[in-house]
Structure 1
Amino acid sequence: MTDFAYKPTLTGDLVVLRPLDEGDYDALRAAMDDPDVTRLTGSHGEIGEEQAREWMRTRKDQTDRLDLAIVDKTSGAVVGEAVLNNWDPDNQCCSFRILIGPAGQGRGLGTEATRLIVGYGIEQLGLHRISLGVYAFNPRAQRAYEKAGFKAEGVLRDALRWDGEWVDEIVMSVLAPEWMPSMDTV
């Protein structure tokens, strides 16, 4: 197994995933400024522009995570990001997260981006397990993850406090032995 130092470009029918860079700041800021995106990702607070730009500048240098911009092939616009992070080389696993702004929603872009990056993690990097958390008020994302082969494992009760209400987080994962069979049935 290798680390995440190599930053690939992954191409599908609907999207291209390419290394994230500072030039993607405006598109990702616009996505994060959407109230629904903020809620569905459970994002509290805001970081400053310079801090966010610096963070984006350093993504290409990280060997323990993979941050890719999601580009809509139809428009050429960056509509979000797909990330493999929290890498545990000893256990051949990592976490996955994705953010899709309003311009990229409802057209299968997130499902394809998920399949591309998860496939890369399992098939090219040799990961055994990729996990994620999705909030209970986001069933659309849960369905997209299921289409990409993820299975629910359990619930972290009251994991997020949003607008004065407690929200559960559903833990999901996909395992390497399940990956290829799951693609045959989708």
Structure 2
Amino acid sequence: MAVKMVHINGIHAKSRWDALAHPEVSKWVFIDLPVSYTKTQEWCESVGNRPNRADFCFEVDGVPAGFAGLVNVDSKSAVAELYIFLHPDFFSKGLGSEFLKQLLSYGEFELNLRKVSLFVTADNTKAISYYEKNGFEIEGVLRKHVWFRGAYRDRVIMAIFLDGLGLNADKFYNETV
């Protein structure tokens, strides 16, 4: 199985929209419902021009399987925030951890990041478990912080320091770039 990380562009709009429109994905992603194909297309075509972020499509044997990015990149502090989601056809196949490792490698080796954080809705226990399994730690909880899907929700802040992960630059550059 060949996994490839590529910068998002307009050709990824349909696949990204398909994933975001699926109820198993959209119930956790902070995006207006119903998911607009037109807005998704516009976003995919323009996101590459934004200087403080890097957004990717992960392809498995040439098929878009997931999307992830490092956003709010602060090069002075060497930090960024992460998002990641898979198309449901690729759930529970171990690919999320592989995608995450490639994204964190990109953050360390291309953006010189030292820390990556994320926000997850507190009731998304599957995601919290996934992040913890991959080395993220809970740094705090913002209580009733955001209005989402009809209720105020707690947001869990999680983070990982990249320096102790043992990410392999040779592997990253030989297999990803």
Match of 1:138 in 2: 124
Check the 8 A contact 1:19/1:68 in 2, yes or no.
Answer: yes
Which has the larger displacement, 111-120 or 138-147?
Answer: 138-147
Q: Determine if the alignment matches structure 1 residue 77 to structure 2 residue 68.
A: no
Identity %: 26
Match of 1:129 in 2: 115
Q: CA deviation digits over 1:77-131, x for unaligned, max 9?
A: 2122110010111111111001212112111111111111012212332111110
Aligned-partner Cα distance in 2 for 1:165–1:110: 28
Q: Determine if the alignment matches structure 1 residue 112 to structure 2 residue 98.
A: yes
Going from structure 1 to structure 2, the CA distance change for 1:62 and 1:164 (only over 3 Å counts) comes to closer
> What displacement does 1:61 show?
2.8
Report the count of equivalent residues.
167
Q: Which amino acid aligns with 2:115?
A: R
SS in 1 for 2:81: strand
Going from structure 1 to structure 2, the CA distance change for 1:101 and 1:160 (only over 3 Å counts) comes to farther
Aligned-partner Cα distance in 1 for 2:90–2:131: 16
Tell me the TM-score normalized by structure 2.
0.83
Check the 8 A contact 1:84/1:94 in 2, yes or no.
Answer: yes
Check the 8 A contact 1:37/1:101 in 2, yes or no.
Answer: yes
Check the 8 A contact 1:82/1:117 in 2, yes or no.
Answer: yes
Query: Which of the residues 51, 60, 80 maps onto 1:63?
Result: 51
Query: Which of the residues 23, 33, 42 maps onto 2:21?
Result: 33
> 5+ residue gaps in structure 1?
1-12, 182-186
SS in 1 for 2:135: coil
Mapping of 1:5-44 within 5 angstroms?
15-44=3-32
Match of 2:171 in 1: none
> 5+ residue gaps in structure 2?
168-177
